[in-house]
Amino acid sequence: MSPARPEGLPAPADGALPTWVGDAASAGRFGVYLHVPFCTVRCGYCDFNTYTATELGGGASQVAFADTASLEIALAARTMREAGYPERSVSTVFFGGGTPTTLPATDLARLLGDVRTTWGLDADAEVTTEANPDSVSPEYLRVLAAAGFTRVSFGMQSAVPHVLATLERTHDPERIGDVVGWAHDAGLQVSLDLIYGTPGESLDDWRTSVDAAVAAGPDHVSAYALVVEAGTRMAGQVRRGELALPDEDDQATKYELADDLLTAAGFEWYEVSNWARRTPLDGPGTPATACRHNLAYWRGDDWWGIGPGAHSYLSGPMHDPRDDVFDTPDTPDTPDTPDAVASAAGLRWWNVKHPRRYAAALEQGHSPAAGREVLTDADAALERVMLGVRLREGLPIADLGPTARRNVAGNVAAGLLEGRAAVTGSAVLTRRGRLLADAVVRDLTDD
């Protein structure tokens, strides 16, 4: 989870939710995100909310983390119940970080157990953890699988030693094939994360990394362009001229190469930066190996984020956008408090970032939320386009506002949207469109 926190309204100490979050809940699925804010070392490019063991102590320590997070799970269930949120079992669970696998497998298993006993877990629930290739063993992975985990996502980043060194990643690239094998042996699906555009990475280096990822035999690959985030050690290196800023044209070329190689190896893009292997059992549409938890974010489903800095989102009774969203939003632009409005399109909040403050709040029986945001229909509509257009399954053109609908043709003509999909009522990005997706979003949210 990114630490950059939007400015918002203060969150109540008891974490009470407005009752309208329960109203529309029957429509969506419910997921749980667990943020484990620990790493053995912090990588230079990383701006996520994570800490090394030496940076923390007391109730914020790794040893106490599962106990603390467990308190938030209880608080979540209580406040949802009090707001009238309907009984709902969990469809997807995602452990992110940080490096969740710096915790003992039994801690992760225990937290998943808490989720299961608190809300219930769908029979076919997807349960993923992120992992560092050098922090797992066959035994560790077997414990996770036995506890109900179904999927593991390894931070591979690159197969090239000098690129890993620039990223300050410590794992041995040779290990990737082994860990993928161990995970499969344990019955887990595997995703590999890659980063392209690292300073000093050649096109051949990138080809080597994608080939190595494919050769390791994962079910899913994510590939992200490196972004030098303000405040990271890498940003300092760039500022001092020690590293070159990633070049966007080079990143575009690498994206296209990755898409070619992955497609040739039987993967399909289902989101701008995500590819899933299609299996013979898949029907049409998004392959089953896609990450369902992430799909829930892009589709606007509900989720609760447990852990320091985690964001949560519960939708409200959204109106049919074709009726009035683009003309006269019937919720105020800047509602004062969530309870001051009879209803809204959604409620989002985020927890305090530091593990110590997070632990302190929960130990005192308070909500760890730091701030909240009430989404108007217009906000929610904007987010729906912004997120939905990233997906291969596309966005119904009928859901767009009148000006945006008129802009579809221009985007088809410019080669950014698929013409065939547009004819059948969907806005689906072409490959060129995927690289220029933000421009498409600006056009499709014109009012």
| Contact residues for other proteins, defined by CB under 8 A | 1-2, 4, 6, 8, 33, 223-225, 227, 247-253, 255, 272-273, 294, 297-298, 303, 305, 309-311, 313, 348, 350, 373, 379, 382-383, 386-387, 390, 414, 416, 434-439, 441-442, 445-446
How many CB atoms are closer than 10 A to CB 301?
Answer: 20
Rounded least distance, CB 225 to other proteins, Å: 4
Q: Which one, 147 or 436, has the nearer CB to other proteins?
A: 436
CB of 434 to other proteins, least distance (A): 7
Report in angstroms how near the CB of residue 44 gets to other proteins at its nearest. Answer: 17
What are φ and ψ of residue 288, in 5° steps?
-65, -20
Question: Of 345, 344, 350, which Cα lies nearest the Cα of 367?
Answer: 350
Q: How many other C-beta atoms lie within 10 A of the C-beta of residue 329?
A: 18
Contacts of 430 (CB under 8 A, 6+ apart): 415, 416, 417, 418
Q: What is the smallest separation between the CB atom of 442 and other proteins, expressed in angstroms?
A: 6
Residues 394 and 392: their CA atoms lie apart, in Å, by 5
159 or 296: whose CB is closer to other proteins?
Answer: 296
DSSP one-letter string for 378-443: HHHHHHHHHHHTTBTT-EEGGGS-HHHHHHHHHHHHTTSB-HHHHHTTEE-B-HHHHHTHHHHHHH
| Closer by beta carbon to other proteins, 141 or else 152 | 152
- Nearest approach in angstroms of CB 211 to other proteins is 20
Cα–Cα separations (whole angstroms), residue 307 to 66, 229, 369: 10, 22, 10
The span from the CA of 315 to the CA of 79, in Å, is 15
Q: How far is the CB of 389 from other proteins (least distance, A)?
A: 10
| 305, 33 contact by CB (below 8 A) | yes
The residue among 277 and 390 lying less far from other proteins, judged by its C-beta, is 390
In the numeric block, which tokens belong to residue 214? Answer: 């494919």
CB nearer to other proteins: pick between 27 and 439: 439
Q: Which is nearer to other proteins, 141 or 404 (CB)?
A: 404
Amino acid at 2: S
Q: How far is CA 63 from the centre of its chain?
A: 26
What's the min distance (Å) between Cβ of 128 and other proteins? 12
For other proteins, which is the closer residue by CB, 5 or 171?
A: 5
